[in-house]
Amino acid sequence: MAVYTDVAAEDLAAFIARYDIGRLLSYKGIAEGVENSNYLLHAEAGYFILTLYEKRVAAVDLPFFLGLMEHLASRGINCPQPVKARDGDALGTLCGRPAALVTFLEGMWMRKVDAKHCAAVGEALAKLHLAGSDFKLRRANALSVSGWRPLFESCASRVDDVQHSMHEIIANELDALEASWPRGLPEGVIHADLFPDNVFFLGEKLSGLIDFYFACNDMLAYDIAICLNAWCFENDFSYNFTKGRALLQGYARVRPLNDAELDALPLLARGAALRFLLTRVVDWLNVPPGALVKPKSPQEYFRKLRFHQKAQSVHDYGVEARELA
């Protein structure tokens, strides 16, 4: 999260007067993250997270996100819960933005990831996929293959300012992925942004998942590809086979993969790398003046994309297909 919208204390006090959480005692902006404005609130009833939805979150999608968090919790997934105002509404408006309060989740995200964390994430992702299978609302993935070209076109003239030759490599990759993007794989609700900063641990135990604001319906294996990108590379951008194997095996212990999913994994990983490369390039080139946000590195995802372009099969991710089926 980040802070794009400054909230004055009197506006916030008026906003929370609609809820049964007592008076506001204190609040502060959370500098982490890049998508929405987030505040940690201390009210008489305890701690809460206030989110003001910014640029990439459409108000029309909020019932999907908030409903999903409730649905997943009812199926045993530990995630923040929307707090309802006295009129029963979980969604309000603050400083002209859609806004919601969610419960505070105990735990810390792992700054230093090891293979045990990766195994736990793989397992949690598979459980999330199973728990989401009977969620009734639907939301298409706006950041899947058909969304990438418009993103690229919005920044194409300046892409080479980020890194030399990036324009040509992204253009070629886009052509290749549009022509060969997998179809017909098992689909369901995916998290679509399950990065280390969205997974909390208490000690060594995974304690909960946050940030469902990219969740949507898409191929389940695409979510695995996102996690491989986010969890299994080192700071020097080299792929860590031990972590990759742990994550994939952790997932498959809960939900085994079918042959088509296994075959598609390298392509899905390329797509996932391109998706985050593109949003990071756009964000890098368009930091709003005065915003409390640190844009994330596009180069990181450029390097990851180059790795996946060389991969031929799951073997190149440190595991054999038979171990995941």
Ligand X SMILES: Nc1ncnc2c1ncn2[C@@H]1O[C@H](COP(=O)(O)OP(=O)(O)OP(=O)(O)O)[C@@H](O)[C@H]1O
2 lies in the binding site for ligand X (CB under 6 A): yes
* 288: exposed, middle or buried (Cβ count in 10 Å: 0-12, 13-18, 19+): exposed
**Coil vs helix vs strand at 239:** strand
Q: Does 33 bind ligand X (CB under 6 A)?
A: yes
Contact partner, 21, from ligand HSE, ligand X, none, Cβ < 5-8 Å per class: none
CA dihedral 63, 66, 70, 76 (to 10 degrees): 130
Q: Which of residues 275-314 bind ligand HSE (CB under 6 A)?
A: 276, 279-280, 296
**300 makes contact with ligand X (CB under 6 A):** no
34 binds ligand HSE (CB under 6 A): yes
SS3 314: helix
Q: Using only the alpha carbons of the chain, give its radius of gyration.
A: 20
CB of 10 to ligand X, least distance (A): 24
Gap between the Cα atoms of 298 and 104, Å rounded: 30
Stretch that binds ligand X, among 101-109, 139-147, 155-163, 306-314 (CB under 6 A): 101-109
Q: Is position 94 an interface residue for ligand X (rule: CB under 6 A)? A: no
Residue 148 interacts with which of ligand X, ligand HSE, none, CB < 5 to 8 Å by class: none
- Give 205's contacts (C-beta < 8 A, 6+ positions apart): 120
From first CA to last CA, the distance across the chain in angstroms is 36
**How far is residue 200's CA from residue 265's CA, in Å, rounded to a whole number?**
26
Interface with ligand HSE in residues 187-226 (CB under 6 A): 193, 195
Which of ligand HSE, ligand X, none interacts with 105 (beta carbon under 5 to 8 A by kind)? ligand X
Residues numbered 139 to 158 that lie near ligand HSE (CB under 6 A) are none
- The contacts of residue 250 (CB under 8 Å, 6+ apart) are 118, 119, 120, 121, 122, 123, 126
What mask, x for binding ligand X by CB under 6 A, covers residues 168 to 207? -------------------------x-x-xx---------
Report the nearest approach of ligand HSE to the CB of residue 280 (Å).
5
Under the rule (CB under 6 A), what is the footprint of ligand HSE? 34-35, 193, 195, 276, 279-280, 296
